[in-house]
A and B are shown apart, each in its own frame.
Chain A
């Protein structure tokens, strides 16, 4: 009996602790400006629920910023996030699926290639930012969709490789061999016989990679300025020494940003462990 109460209490306490920040951003998004951060007082729940913050980030209402020209319209940045994350995902998947198959089926690149790719994940992206900027400026990729898509694809490529490899490895060799016997080339076997087997895995990997690209902050901060600024960077700009702390619109935008990863993440819940451990653990 004591054990069960202990269990319930622990779960409740931990649950409250983990949920509270989410509760806070949820309620902040519906608070009017007076209630954001009044000095010396905390509003635990909104006293006057309002949709103004959402109206602001979708450009429907005037900004509450101290200067009416300060933009809080986030529709542009949201679109930029969608485009660059999708593009980056497609690129990572395209390169990653092929590489993964090569590694899984043919041990291409030797047995060390997978781990080389894994090592890539260890490099802080900020370490290559200077040469990246130089290169991008030469190629006129700064502050463009392609610039973002390229680097997003490269940075999530290891995940795509490792995840897809773990799926390909589950496909028995016999399937491709049988296809070859039936007259397919290697490529035909790949496209017609093997790939359909990992459809679920493809979807899961794509969604997983999308979540990662969607969540990027640093690379967009460095590589974009006003043409393709993504939503997380825009979120940060709503809170600047120059504009003050616009908690309400930030919270509204934050909630909007959480939606895709939350929805996708819950959809691929089963594969999350596999994805985040590079396929090492396949639960």
Chain B
């Protein structure tokens, strides 16, 4: 071959070689990339799960005097599982957890949505106020639990404040001595209040970002056609926000189901078991009653329960993520997401 031809081929050849190799190297690289993560998970999730299943079939505790792998000496078959499923304690704990989750998420959504609506239009000091409303989210949950422990004391500021309200506003005598932390029928709500305080800001942020992204033209059209504010909300805003609302609610629900910190710090799950969420129940069974075999069975049941829930919950998130990816694929690349102000200005100009 002539030299120029050789050169030409040489220039093309690297392309071809890489193209040929692209397929194989890609998967090798891919596997290597996810390897460290998989190792981490194997170590911390897979192996513990096996150990937990093993122990859950026994009545072993560290105080039995034997090491864990000798737990077969205390073999119980399914006794622990039966005790959990047929006894009341386990189901009550699940019920409490579900109640707290439903209430907390519902209120977080309602208040967060109201706040988002209030913050939608620009006003003076909005950025500063946004920071104020974000602060509760930054508080370490353990510290939040401690703050409300102080606030909810029977002689504490909440009751004192309510008493002042009663006296000065309603002109009724008598003090308010609500046992936020000691009345067994109230403690669940006290725990819920802490969660609402801490995570409403998150809902607020998410819903605000969703509201801001709503297409202005449709809303304008509806207003011109005479729809009232409430009608706009009901027929336009909420349906359009559905994917975002769903994600926010599901994610908060997932996290609230695991609630431990505030329930523990407020009342240690008490009085009795009145505020024992499933995490608190597991903790008490493990470290106070020290019944590790039984606790492992409860843990496995919880994992099963959560996996089932998880699979149902994943779908909407999956769908929403796919949507956003598609949006990105078709949208023009932006250097930076436009700030709230810019978007509103753009909307105002368009109007």
A–B direct touch in complex (beta carbons closer than 8 A): yes
On A, residues with C-beta under 8 Å from B are 7, 10-11, 14-15, 18-19, 21-22, 24-25, 28, 37, 39-42, 44, 91, 94-96, 98-99, 101-103, 105-109, 113, 115, 117-132, 134-135, 150-151, 153-155, 157, 161, 169-170, 172, 180-181, 183, 185-187, 211, 214-215, 217-218, 222, 232-233, 235-236, 239, 247, 250-251, 254, 257-258, 261-262, 265-266, 269-270, 272-273, 276-283
B51 touches A42 (CB 8 A): no
Q: Given the complex of chains A and B, what is the CA–CA distance between A15 and B32 in angstroms?
A: 49
B202:A119 contact, CB within 8 angstroms: no
Size of interface on B: residues with Cβ below 8 Å to A: 111
Known contacts A109-B34, A273-B209; decide if A150 and B155 are in contact (CB<8 Å): no
Q: How many A-B residue pairs have CB under 8 A?
A: 303
A150–B138 touching, CB < 8 Å:
no
Q: Which of B203-233 contact A (CB under 8 A)?
A: 205-206, 209-210, 212-213
18 contacts between A and B (CB under 8 A): A11-B115, A11-B129, A18-B132, A19-B132, A22-B136, A98-B32, A107-B30, A120-B41, A124-B257, A128-B44, A131-B52, A131-B296, A134-B51, A157-B37, A265-B134, A266-B131, A272-B205, A283-B209
- A15-B132 in contact (CB<8A): yes
Chain A residues lying within 8 Å of B39, measured Cβ to Cβ, are 95
Q: Is B182 an interface residue (CB 8 A)?
A: no
Contact B48 A128 (CB under 8 A): yes
Beyond A129-B282, A129-B283, 12 additional pairs, beta carbon < 8 A:
A42-B157, A42-B160, A98-B34, A124-B282, A127-B300, A130-B51, A130-B295, A154-B41, A157-B40, A170-B328, A273-B205, A276-B251
* Whole-angstrom CA separation of A280 from B252 in the bound complex: 13
Chain A residues positioned under 8 Å from B318 (CB to CB): 115
Cβ contacts under 8 Å, A265 to chain B: 134, 137-138
Chain B positions 302-338 with a Cβ under 8 Å from a chain A Cβ:
302-303, 306-307, 309-311, 313-314, 317-318, 320-321, 324-325, 328, 333, 337
Asked whether A126 lies within 8 Å of B157 as measured between CB atoms, the reply is no
Are the CB atoms of A135 and B140 closer together than 8 Å?
no
Known: A10-B118, A130-B296. A232 touches B302 (CB 8 A): no
**Residue from the list A91, A170, A250 in contact with B146, Cβ < 8 A:** A250
Most buried by B among A123, A135, A151, A169: A123
B48, A37: Cβ atoms closer than 8 Å: no
Interface of A is mostly: helix
- Answer yes or no: B75 CB below 8 A from chain A CBs: no
Could you say which of B131, B149, B206 contacts A277, with CB atoms under 8 Å apart?
B206
Q: Which residues of B contact A119 (CB under 8 A)?
A: 307, 310-311, 314
- The reply to whether A122 and B143 form a contact with Cβ atoms under 8 Å apart is no
**Chain B residue at minimum C-beta to C-beta distance from A186:** B29
Take A106-B30, A115-B318 as given contacts and tell me if A280 and B133 are in contact as well, using a CB distance cutoff of 8 Å: no
Q: Is B150 positioned at the interface, with any CB of A under 8 Å from its CB? A: yes
